[in-house]
Amino acid sequence: MNRRPRRNRQTEVIRNMVQETSLSLNDFIYPLFIIEGQNQRIEVKSMPGINRFSIDTLLEEIHTCVELGVKAFAPFPGIAEQYKDKTATESWNPDGLFPRAIREIKKNFPQVALFTDIAMDPYSSDGHDGIVENGEILNDETLEVLGKMALVQAQAGADVVAPSDMMDGRIGHIRRVLDENGFHKVGIMAYTAKYASAFYGPFRDALDSAPKAGDKKTYQMNYANSREALVEAELDTAEGADYLMVKPALSYLDVIKLLRDNSNLPIAAYNVSGEYAMVKAADQKGWVDGEKIMVETLTSIKRAGADIILSYFAKEYAQYLKK
Ligand code: PBG
């Protein structure tokens, strides 16, 4: 035998030296849930370790994360039922919870990068990412709302807006609205290949944003498809996206790789709530070593080709690095 691959696995120094993929805190965006009130820190039942924060405690949490080396955040608002309506008017209220939170975060932590969510569902009385009429999700009418939402978020201080709605033409529309209003420096992270997935369950619990009727299959992608991700990627790129995202991550590593191989834009992957919840649940039962699985799965997302990982594990990974 003149070829013995095990030679490169003999010592830790050599293993580390030949390691092809490594994670860095530069790679992470940490999602955060915001609610109204004061001194609130309510754990999401299906996501141990993840809380819903009022703005005051959110700032404390970001402070802790920044100290740990987390540099970028993706906040999501939980909107009280009385502010929800069919056209999500609260989503473009400049004094609403979300713009207020963005302004406070940027005032206190100007150095962090904020990737803010654009979608109607947290503000929609139908729990959908678009305007619903007779059970149908209206595309072009929804774009108007998304554009207004993007503008309010940019005015509040968002670095990058991240449309997670999957309406056709939204990247181009949002780019136009931002540019017309002087926000050419605000970037767009497109949820390019966002699949209709059961892995979003815990997130919808956290924000109380599940669809009241029907499902999201007429706008989110069929999980059986990968070539369709290239169609979405072409459009988002042509319309002006600065980043492409694949979501969820772990059952979609092939899609991450596909976009990586076919695009020169930064590729992000969203390691979603259900993926987090499964690891936590199995860890709590003592069935797997949650910390090892965290590092292994995050590494696999990077190995597949993601430059950026949105993950509820971002803070815990930063804590793990400090051990
Ligand atoms: C909705 C949105 C969802 C997530 C992010 N934005 C849920 C959905 O599409 O129903 C899910 C994130 C997660 O599960 O962690 N615009």
Tens digit of each residue's pLDDT (9 = 90 or more) over 262-288: 999 999 999 999 999 999 999 999 999
Residue with the smallest CA separation from ligand 1 atom 8 is: 200
Residue with the smallest CA separation from ligand 1 atom 2 is: 164
Residue 119 above 90 pLDDT?
A: yes
Q: What is the pLDDT of residue 208?
A: 87
> Is omega for the bond preceding 248 within 30 degrees of 0, making it cis?
yes
Tens digit of each residue's pLDDT (9 = 90 or more) over 180-198: 999 999 999 999 999 999 9
Beta partners for 73? 30, 114
The alpha carbon of 3 and the centre of ligand 1 are apart by a number of angstroms equal to 47
Three-state DSSP state, 126: coil
Q: Closest Cα to residue 159, out of 32, 239, 72?
A: 72
- Ligand 1 atom nearest the C-alpha of 119 is 16
Work out the percent of the chain whose per-residue pLDDT is above 90: 98
Q: Closest Cα to residue 117, out of 256, 316, 310?
A: 310
**CA dist., res. 103 & res. 105, Å (int):** 6
pLDDT bracket for residue 310 (50, 70, 90): very high
The dihedrals phi and psi of 52, each to the nearest 5 degrees, come to -105, 125
> CB–CB of 164/209 below 8 Å?
no
> CB–CB of 116/74 below 8 Å?
yes
CA gyration radius for the chain? 20
The alpha carbon of 117 and the centre of ligand 1 are apart by a number of angstroms equal to 9
Tokens of 270: 């969203």
Indicate whether residue 44 lines ligand 1 (CB < 6 A). no
Indicate whether residue 124 lines ligand 1 (CB < 6 A). no
**CA dist., res. 303 & res. 297, Å (int):** 10
Active site residues: 194, 247
The alpha carbon of 5 and the centre of ligand 1 are apart by a number of angstroms equal to 42
Q: Is the pTM of this model over 0.85?
A: yes
